[in-house]
């Protein structure tokens, strides 16, 4: 029977114990429909995750202290262990800031270890895996504390969207209870539907947006000021969509170049790339389409919500001036036709951001792959663009 050495097998044992404790930290109990019970439920889940991160930092500290000398790669993990310990024993008001600093420290240590592994230093693989779990997975799976849009008038019962974790928000799993309820019942009662989020209420939209509309300015400038953050988010999401469309082709191109360079340097036994380079490009082949799907769905969600907010604000703005108008037909036309025409301007964002960026990156990608032949093909496409329409008329 082979001798068992805890010193040699401590890394996989501690890693297995940490991974086994994650499901218990994420277990959610049934919460009441009252706001107080929901807040207590969220704080209890966050407290379990804080305790889990503190216990998980013990293996990180063990991996760092196992070395003969503490290097700069181990300092972020030691700092994060101290921050996690302070978070567990601190008050509820200061825990949010401490969690952010601890997550930032863990992510910094993860990036440093990953960079060192790429350079050939090879830190403990278990430490890299635990750092990725604590710095990426746990924050994405942690529920969010309800922050009212109007602190003076908080919602009695917050919408599940406002407290869902980032992963739940990205995959819309916070809607699963409503979907399953609709599967069991022929008709969902009104009281069983999730409450309206406070930032979607007409009262809040009126109070937050009407101050940006001035009588002596064009309506468009007021819309741009009132929805500036929504427009900026849509622009950023459009950029992510365009970049994610090029992730898979770029990963395939880099992977083929890596295989070509590897075959050339195999005879000399000299490698110019790190051990992570091929896995990075393989990961891009998966991450590109996955990120494209998430960003596309998120863009449609933001467009739909911004559209309804804009319709609500414009309709209320028209009704505010309804008493000053004497022609009822003109009022009805403004509500039914003019508001709809203004809202349909959301498609202008695609023409101003998405299409030029897509065109420029396509030309750059083809030029990097084909050289000057890309410009010849682009010129031929532009010149021959009217030909299908001309032949169709004949």
Same domain, residue pair 6 and 122: yes
The residue that leads in pLDDT, 346 or 331, is: 346
Closest CA to 287 of 235, 357, 240, 356: 240
Domain boundary among 196, 223, 258: 196
Same domain, residue pair 314 and 177: no
Classify residue 263: in a domain, yes or no: no
Same domain, residue pair 57 and 187: no
- Taking the alpha carbons of 365, 370, 371, 374 in that order, is the dihedral positive or negative? negative
Domain boundary among 119, 143, 167: 143
The domain total for the chain is 3
Closest CA to 162 of 145, 179, 178, 150: 145
Same domain, residue pair 83 and 42: yes
Residue pLDDT, tens place only, 9-44: 444 555 555 555 555 555 543 343 445 667 777 888
Q: Where are the alpha helices (DSSP H) in the chain?
A: 6-26, 35-65, 75-89, 92-119, 125-132, 138-141, 160-163, 166-171, 176-184, 202-209, 219-226, 228-245, 247-265, 277-320, 328-333, 339-343, 348-349, 355-370, 373-383, 387-393
Residue pLDDT, tens place only, 47-83: 888 888 888 888 877 777 766 555 667 788 888 888 8
Same domain, residue pair 311 and 358: yes
Classify residue 282: in a domain, yes or no: no
Residue pLDDT, tens place only, 210-260: 889 888 888 888 888 999 999 999 999 999 999 999 988 888 888 888 887
Same domain, residue pair 12 and 84: yes
Same domain, residue pair 185 and 208: no
Distance, in Å, from the CA atom of 78 to the CA atom of 65, rounded to the nearest integer, reads 9
Non-local (6+) Cβ contacts of 284 within 8 A are 247, 248, 250, 251, 254
> How many Cβ atoms from other residues are within 10 Å of residue 165's Cβ?
19
pLDDT of residue 56: 83
Helix axis angle, 92-119 relative to 125-132, nearest 10°? 140
Same domain, residue pair 133 and 184: no
Same domain, residue pair 23 and 169: no
Classify residue 95: in a domain, yes or no: yes
> How many Cβ atoms from other residues are within 10 Å of residue 210's Cβ?
14
Same domain, residue pair 182 and 109: no
Same domain, residue pair 229 and 352: yes
Residue pLDDT, tens place only, 136-183: 999 998 898 888 888 888 888 888 899 899 999 999 999 998 899 888
pLDDT of residue 74: 76
Looking at the whole model, is its pTM more than 0.85? no
Classify residue 110: in a domain, yes or no: yes
CA atoms lying within 13 Å on the CB side of residue 11: 14
Non-local (6+) Cβ contacts of 48 within 8 A are 24, 25, 26, 27
Distance, in Å, from the CA atom of 201 to the CA atom of 196, rounded to the nearest integer, reads 7
Same domain, residue pair 169 and 50: no
Could you tell me the residue range of the domain that residue 213 belongs to?
A: 201-247+288-394
Classify residue 255: in a domain, yes or no: no
Q: Does the structure show a pLDDT above 50 at 337?
A: yes
Taking CA 302 as the corner, what is the angle to CA 337 and CA 31, rounded to the nearest 5 degrees?
120
pLDDT of residue 1: 44
- Average pLDDT of the chain is 79
Q: Does the structure show a pLDDT above 90 at 96?
A: no
């Amino acid at each position: 029977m082979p001798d068992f050495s805890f010193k040699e097998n401590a890394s996989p044992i501690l890693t297995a114990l940490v991974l086994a404790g994650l499901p218990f930290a994420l277990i959610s109990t049934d919460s009441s429909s009252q706001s107080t019970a929901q807040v207590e439920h969220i704080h209890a889940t966050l407290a379990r995750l804080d305790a889990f991160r503190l216990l998980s930092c013990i293996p990180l500290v063990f991996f760092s202290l196992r070395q003969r000398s503490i290097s700069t790669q181990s300092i972020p993990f030691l700092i994060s262990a101290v921050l996690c310990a302070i978070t567990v024993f601190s008050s509820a008001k200061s825990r949010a800031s401490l969690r952010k600093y601890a997550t930032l420290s863990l992510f910094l240590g993860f990036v440093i270890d990953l960079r060192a592994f790429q350079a050939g230093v090879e830190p403990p693989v278990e430490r890299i895996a635990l750092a990725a779990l604590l710095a990426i997975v746990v924050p994405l799976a942690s529920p969010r504390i309800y922050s009212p849009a109007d602190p003076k008038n908080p919602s009695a019962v917050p919408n599940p969207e406002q407290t869902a974790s980032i992963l739940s928000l990205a995959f819309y799993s916070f809607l699963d209870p409503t979907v399953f309820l609709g599967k069991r019942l022929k008709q969902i009662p009104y009281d069983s539907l999730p409450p309206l989020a406070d930032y979607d209420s007409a009262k809040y939209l009126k109070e937050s947006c009407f101050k940006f509309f001035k009588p002596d300015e064009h309506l468009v400038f007021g819309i741009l000021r009132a929805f500036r953050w929504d427009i900026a988010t849509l622009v950023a999401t459009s950029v992510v969509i365009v970049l994610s469309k090029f992730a898979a082709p770029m990963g395939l191109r880099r992977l083929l170049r890596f295989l070509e360079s590897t075959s050339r340097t195999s005879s000399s036994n000299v490698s110019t790339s790190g051990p992570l380079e091929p896995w990075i490009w393989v990961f891009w082949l998966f991450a590109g389409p996955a990120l494209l799907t998430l960003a596309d769905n998120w863009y449609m969600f933001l467009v739909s919500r911004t559209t309804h907010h804009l319709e609500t604000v414009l309709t209320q703005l028209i009704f505010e001036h309804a008493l000053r108008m004497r022609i009822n037909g003109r009022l009805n036309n403004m509500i039914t036709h003019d508001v709809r025409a203004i809202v349909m301007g959301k498609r202008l964002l695609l023409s101003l951001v998405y299409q030029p960026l897509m065109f420029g990156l396509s030309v750059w990608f083809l030029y990097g792959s084909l050289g000057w032949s890309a410009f010849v093909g682009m010129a031929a496409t532009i010149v021959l663009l009217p030909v299908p329409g001309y032949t169709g008329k004949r």
